[in-house]
Amino acid sequence: MATSEIAERLFAHGIQPTAQRRRIAAVLLSAPQHMSAEQLLAQLVADGARVSKATVYNTLNLFASRGLIRPLTVDGARVWFDSNVEAHYHFHDVESGALTDVAVPEVEFSRLPPPPAGMEVAGIDLVIRLRKASPG
Amino acid sequence: MATSEIAERLFAHGIQPTAQRRRIAAVLLSAPQHMSAEQLLAQLVADGARVSKATVYNTLNLFASRGLIRPLTVDGARVWFDSNVEAHYHFHDVESGALTDVAVPEVEFSRLPPPPAGMEVAGIDLVIRLRKASPG
DNA sequence: ATGGCTGCAAATAGTTTGCAATGAG
DNA sequence: CTCATTGCAAACTATTTGCAGCCAT
């Protein structure tokens, strides 16, 4: 993704494009992917970026609150940030923890419950847990 | 649920029915519900039970590993333990954090992706996020 | 100069763990 | 007696926060 495109996306979401935010966006938004805060920090440090842990967390939360990325909670241990905010679902390998996207057309609901009175559906999180197939 | 029934269920899952485990099971399994470890501990203490935090956590993990209860991760903050291990889904009120069951017949998948080669589906977690309906 | 942003370090929250004491069979 | 279980406190992990310094306008 071009540097200018990143700045544009930040701007479009009402986010001041500081140096750190650009760096963070450049890594996370470079592809449809899932990263944890620690992973992202490690990557940035490896890239020689000058960013602190606090800023990574603050920035990820800012991005998420502005709809630039989506937080995922597939296990209790940590939050994953998904650079793909389009509707989609996930496979979750229970053993390795690996997350894989499932495109919307691959899932079809022929029935969904109506939301309770006064409520509306804000989103649907579908996680298909996977384990090694038992032989036979 | 009768005391004897609780002991039976523990036994059926290969769990030694100690006093603490009975107390914990009595509270959590008394109805189909979702509780956090801290909630459960608070309830037990309020009931005058002699149980430590460590034992609550150890016991919940033990119960979960034996399939007596099901751990839920609907937000990153904490693990919820569901006394209902039958297949079902959840509504999640994003604002209040409230969890409500959605029975299996209320949801119907007309299409699901095949699991990747060598993998099989271990379970499907569906969380329907709810927010206050916007007026209009 | 002003207000937002950053970094450090300390604080928090949930959960796990080491280990000595306890207790049931 | 023995071995599993418990409780306490300390350790740990992920995340948040207070605050002083910095930076761009």
Instruction: For A68-83, write each residue's pLDDT tens digit.
Output: 999 999 998 999 999 9
Residue with tokens 């994953």: A80
**Res B3: pLDDT:** 82
Residues of B engaging A, defined by a Cβ cutoff of 8 Å: 71, 73-76, 78-79, 91, 93-94, 100, 102, 106-113, 115-116, 118-134
Q: Do B100 and A116 touch (CB under 8 A)?
A: yes
Q: Which residues of A79-118 are buried (b: 16+ CB within 10 A; e: fewer)?
A: bbbbbeeeebbbbbbeeeeebebbeeeebeeeeeeebeee
Instruction: For B13-32, write each residue's pLDDT tens digit.
Output: 999 999 999 999 999 999 99
Amino acid whose CA is nearest the C1' of D24? A18
Instruction: For A100-114, write each residue's pLDDT tens digit.
Output: 999 999 999 999 999
Closest by alpha carbon to A69, among A104, A24, A129?
A: A24
From residue B23, alpha-carbon distances to A63, B14, B62 in Å are 44, 17, 14
**Res A1: pLDDT:** 72
Cα separation, A129 vs B124, in Å, equals: 6
